[in-house]
Amino acid sequence: MGDAQRFDDLSDKLARAVREHPELVGLALMGSASEAGRHRRDEWSDHDFFAIAADGAGPRVRADLSWLPRQEHLVLALPEGGAGVVALYDDGHLLEFAAAHPAELEGALAGLTTVTVDDEDGTVATLIAESQARAAATTAIDPALEAGLALIKLRIGVGRARRGEVVSGGLFVRTWALQHLVRALRGRLLDPDEPQRDLLEPTRRLEQVLPRQAAALAAALELPVEPAARALYALMRDELEPGWPEFPSRAADVVAQRFGW
């Protein structure tokens, strides 16, 4: 059985498990597990999904995961934030999912999704439609805002690193500043409806749409904290500032002056 067939087989087994569970009413496969995301799958793709429980049953279906398929191959299953669960099989395949009743997912966001199991009332389809609308509304990119926030995170990160808090400083530079910078790059340089955009994670598939900038970002992240921050700062000014009056140039100057760059 090839990788694609194994992936589909597990999707089918998940749907069967949900249909047979007395307290589960639906299944929504998300991201590369969805039909619309099928073209994105490769050997590293995980199963992301919502398993929707009957009202009030969310905690019970999370507490007892015996409904998951291939039980004999599960090596780890852990709660991860509220209604989230992560499970690992002995072949390295990963499930990342929410097992919850609808009220627990009121603020959920969704991108590419295929509803494979639903009840007669269309509970899952309604929940997914609302989650997709919420994602579209809340993930619109304001590149000027993102550029400004990237500068702030660089200022905090380098300051902490110079204080001796290298781990904390590195987190601000390599995670928070990077995420804001990537969002600024996508918002400034790409069409807002570009097909490779992931509504929930701006760094996904960046290499496919901005290969030169992605390579520069990857090189910067291999450096120690302050050189990494300085490389991100230079990239920001080179790629975003020219010809863009909304770029926070004065703030960028202040950051550079504060650090003697």
Which superfamily, per CATH, for 3-138?
Beta Polymerase, domain 2 (3.30.460.10)
Q: Specify the 3-state DSSP secondary structure of 253.
A: helix
Taking alpha carbons only, the member of 146, 172, 159, 169 closest to residue 239 is 146
pTM over 0.85: no
193 contacts 104 by C-beta, under 8 angstroms = no
Q: Is pLDDT at 2 greater than 70 in this prediction?
A: no
Measure the CA dihedral 23/11/106/143, to 10°. Answer: 170
Instruction: Kindly state the average pLDDT of the residues 91-111.
Output: 93
The ranges assigned to domains in the chain are 3-138, 143-259
Instruction: Kindly state the average pLDDT of the residues 193-209.
Output: 76
Rounded Cα distance between 67 and 170, Å, is 40
Q: Which two tokens stand for residue 39?
A: 């073209």
What does pLDDT average to over the chain? 92
Rounded Cα distance between 258 and 4, Å, is 53
Instruction: Please report the pLDDT score of residue 190 as a whole number.
Output: 87
Measure the CA dihedral 235/156/187/31, to 10°. Answer: 110
Instruction: Please report the pLDDT score of residue 199 as a whole number.
Output: 63
Q: Is pLDDT at 188 greater than 60 in this prediction?
A: yes
Rounded Cα distance between 133 and 94, Å, is 27
Kindly report, residue by residue over 235-247, the tens digit of the pLDDT.
999 999 999 999 9
Instruction: Please report the pLDDT score of residue 232 as a whole number.
Output: 98
Instruction: Please report the pLDDT score of residue 3 as a whole number.
Output: 77
Tell me phi and psi for residue 190, to 5 degrees. -120, 160
Tell me phi and psi for residue 77, to 5 degrees. -145, 120
Instruction: Kindly state the average pLDDT of the residues 202-216.
Output: 91
Instruction: Please report the pLDDT score of residue 251 as a whole number.
Output: 97
Instruction: Please report the pLDDT score of residue 107 as a whole number.
Output: 86
Rounded Cα distance between 152 and 159, Å, is 11
Instruction: Please report the pLDDT score of residue 197 as a whole number.
Output: 66
